Amino acid sequence: ALRRAQKIALRFQHVANVWVTHVWEKFARREEKGTGLAWYDTAYIDESAWPITIQDMNIEMTLVQRSLAASGLSAGHAPPWPGAP
């Protein structure tokens, strides 16, 4: 049950990471007119009222991934059809 819960948690962590990336690109990206150079307003993520930073998210995902890997079991599941790569 713990392994299944960790896999579900990892899936939600991945979804959250994708969402944060979307917000980061859509709202925090700033481009200098005429130069094409871009920079990011870090206040949108790491200085916001969010309870977790990007670094915290990555640490949590890494800990869950390491815990799953330490079990020695396959990271995924068997495909439902024979001969699938």
0.85 surpassed by pTM: no
Name the one residue in this structure whose structure tokens are 């993520």: 45
User: pLDDT value at position 85?
Assistant: 66
Residue 29 φ then ψ, to 5°: -70, 130
* Residue 56 Cα distances to 50, 77, 83, angstroms: 11, 28, 39
CA atoms within 13 A on the CB side of 34: 0
| Across 42-57, average pLDDT | 76
What letter represents residue 39's amino acid?
W
39-49 per-position pLDDT tens digit? 888 777 667 76
